[in-house]
Amino acid sequence: MTTPPARLAVAATLDTKGPAVRVVLDELRRRGCPALVVDTGTGAPRAVVPDIAARQVERIGLDALGAEPGTGRGRLAAMGAGLAALVDESRRAGSIGGLMAIGGGTGAGICSAALRRAPVGFPRMLVSTGVTDDVSALVGVGDVHLVQPVVDFHGGGELLEVVLRRAAAAMAAVVSLPYRPAGDRPQVGVTSFGVTEAAVERVVAGLEQRGFGVCVFHARGSGGRAMEAMVDQGALAAVVDLTTTELTDEVAGGARSAGPHRLEAALRAGIPCVLAPGALDVVNFGPPDSVPEALADRPTVRHSPTTTLVRARAADGEAVAEDIAAKVAAAAHPERVRVVVPARGFSALDAPGQPFHDPAADAAFTERLRRVLPGGVPVRVVDAHLADGAFAAALLAEFDAVARLAGLAPPTAGTPPTATTAATATTEGTKGSEAT
Amino acid sequence: MTTPPARLAVAATLDTKGPAVRVVLDELRRRGCPALVVDTGTGAPRAVVPDIAARQVERIGLDALGAEPGTGRGRLAAMGAGLAALVDESRRAGSIGGLMAIGGGTGAGICSAALRRAPVGFPRMLVSTGVTDDVSALVGVGDVHLVQPVVDFHGGGELLEVVLRRAAAAMAAVVSLPYRPAGDRPQVGVTSFGVTEAAVERVVAGLEQRGFGVCVFHARGSGGRAMEAMVDQGALAAVVDLTTTELTDEVAGGARSAGPHRLEAALRAGIPCVLAPGALDVVNFGPPDSVPEALADRPTVRHSPTTTLVRARAADGEAVAEDIAAKVAAAAHPERVRVVVPARGFSALDAPGQPFHDPAADAAFTERLRRVLPGGVPVRVVDAHLADGAFAAALLAEFDAVARLAGLAPPTAGTPPTATTAATATTEGTKGSEAT
Question: Which segments of chain A belong to CATH 3.40.50.12020?
Answer: 8-175
Section B312-316 average pLDDT: 97
What is the model's pLDDT at position A417? 41
ipTM of the complex in this document: 0.84
Instruction: Select from A49, A132, A193 the residue whose CB has the most chain B CBs within 10 Å, as the one to mutate to test that interface.
Output: A132
CB-CB contact of A391 with A382 (8 Å)? yes
Query: What number of C-beta contacts closer than 8 Å exist between A and B?
Result: 339
A423 vs B394 pLDDT, higher one: B394
Percentage of chain B surpassing pLDDT 70? 90
- Tell me if B161 sits within 8 A of A182, measured CB to CB: yes
Taking an 8 Å cut-off on Cβ atoms, the answer to whether A146 and B152 are in contact is no
What angle, 0 to 180 degrees and rounded to 10, lies between the N-to-C axes of helices A314-329 and A359-372? 20
Among the partner-chain residues B143, B170, B197, the one whose CB lies closest to the CB of A173 is B170
Which of B25, B218, B225, B302 to mutate to probe the A interface, most A CBs <10 Å?
B218
Q: State the alpha helices, DSSP H only, in A118-221.
A: 136-139, 158-175, 197-209
Q: From the CA of B368, how many Å to the nearest CA of chain A?
A: 32
* Interface test with chain B among A136, A150, A161, A164, by most B beta carbons within 10 Å: A150
Q: Is B354 helix (H, G, I), strand (E, B) or coil?
A: coil
CA distance to A272, A354, B427, per residue, from B113 (Å)? 44, 34, 33
Specify the range with the lowest mean pLDDT, choosing from A132-146, B203-217, B323-337.
A132-146
What are the Cα distances from residue B64, in Å, to B81, B82, B85, B218? Answer: 7, 7, 7, 34
pLDDT tens profile B125-164:
999 987 766 677 777 767 899 998 888 887 778 889 999 9
CA distance A259 to chain B (A): 15
Q: Are A104 and A130 in contact (CB under 8 A)?
A: yes
pLDDT at B308: 95
Q: Give the best residue of A27, A151, A200 to mutate against chain B (max B CB count within 10 A).
A: A151
Dist. CA A328–CA A268, nearest whole Å: 9
CA pair distance A186, B107, nearest whole angstrom: 30
CATH architecture of B187-429: 3-Layer(aba) Sandwich (3.40)
What is the C-alpha separation between A213 and B159, in angstroms, rounded? 9
The Cα–Cα gap between B436 and B276 comes to: 19
Quote the minimal CA–CA distance from A10 to chain B in Å: 16
What pLDDT, on the 0 to 100 scale, is given for residue A72? 64
Say whether B152 and A223 touch across the interface (CB within 8 A): yes
Confidence of residue B410 (pLDDT cuts 50, 70, 90): confident
Who wins on pLDDT, B343 or B420?
B343
Band of the pLDDT at B261, cuts 50, 70, 90?
very high
Alpha-carbon gap: A325 to the closest alpha carbon of chain B (Å): 27
User: CB–CB of B217 and A152 under 8 A?
Assistant: yes
pLDDT digits 0-9 by tens, B59-76: 999 999 988 877 666 888
> How confident is the model over B276-291, as a mean pLDDT?
95
* CB count in 10 Å sphere of residue B178: 15
Residue A177: which of B166, B201, B429 has the nearest Cβ?
B166
HSE-CB at B88 with a 13 A cutoff on CA atoms is: 16
Is the confidence at residue B423, as pLDDT, over 60? no
Are A177 and B192 inside 8 Å of each other by CB?
no
Which pLDDT band holds residue B428 (cuts at 50, 70, 90)?
Answer: very low
| Distance separating alpha carbons of residues A135 and A109, to the nearest angstrom | 11
Residues in chain A, pLDDT under 50? 1-2, 181-182, 414-436
Task: Please give the residue of chain B at the shortest CA–CA distance from A72.
Answer: B304
CB A103, CB A110: distance < 8 Å: yes
Cβ–Cβ < 8 Å for A302, A308: yes
Please list every residue in chain B whose beta carbon sits closer than 8 Å to the beta carbon of residue A37: none
Sequence-separated contacts (24+) of A292-300 with Cβ below 8 Å: A292/A253, A299/A355, A299/A356, A299/A358, A300/A355
Give the pLDDT of residue B155. Answer: 75
CATH architecture of A8-175: 3-Layer(aba) Sandwich (3.40)
The answer to whether the beta carbons of residues B67 and B93 sit under 8 Å apart is no
Lowest mean pLDDT among A390-399, B5-14, B82-91, B103-112: B103-112
Output the pLDDT for position B2.
43
Q: What is the pLDDT of residue A119?
A: 86
Q: Pinpoint the residues of chain A covered by CATH 3.40.50.12030.
A: 187-429
Q: From the CB of residue A232, how many other CB atoms can be counted at a distance below 10 Å?
A: 15
Residues in chain B within 8 Å Cβ distance of A169: 170, 173-174, 176-177
Question: B340 to chain A, minimum CA–CA distance in Å?
Answer: 21
In chain A, what residues touch B218 (CB-CB under 8 Å)?
104, 129, 152, 154
Buried b (16+ CB within 10 A) or exposed e, A20-45: bbbbbbbbbeebebebbbbbbbbeeb
pLDDT, average across residues B46-55? 97
- As a whole number, the mean pLDDT across chain B is 89
Q: What pLDDT sits at residue A179?
A: 63
Contact A221, A249 (CB under 8 A): yes
Q: Which residue of B has its CA nearest to A186?
A: B158
Q: Average pLDDT in the B226-237 region?
A: 91
**Cβ atoms within 10 Å of A339's Cβ, excluding its own:** 25
How high is the pLDDT of residue A374?
Answer: 93
What is the gyration radius of the CA atoms in chain B, in angstroms?
24
CA A222, A225, A231: angle at the middle one, nearest 5? Answer: 140
Confidence of residue B416 (pLDDT cuts 50, 70, 90): very low
| Residue A29 C-alpha from the chain's centroid | 32
- β-pairing, A145-147 vs B145-147, is antiparallel
Instruction: Report whether A11 contacts A102 (CB < 8 A).
Output: yes
CA distance B236 to B233: 8
B31-67 burial code (b ≥16 CB/10 A, e <16): bebebbbbbbbbeebbbbebebbbeebbebbbebbee
What local confidence, expressed as pLDDT, does residue A183 receive? 59
Residue type, B368: R
DSSP 8-state code for residue A258: -
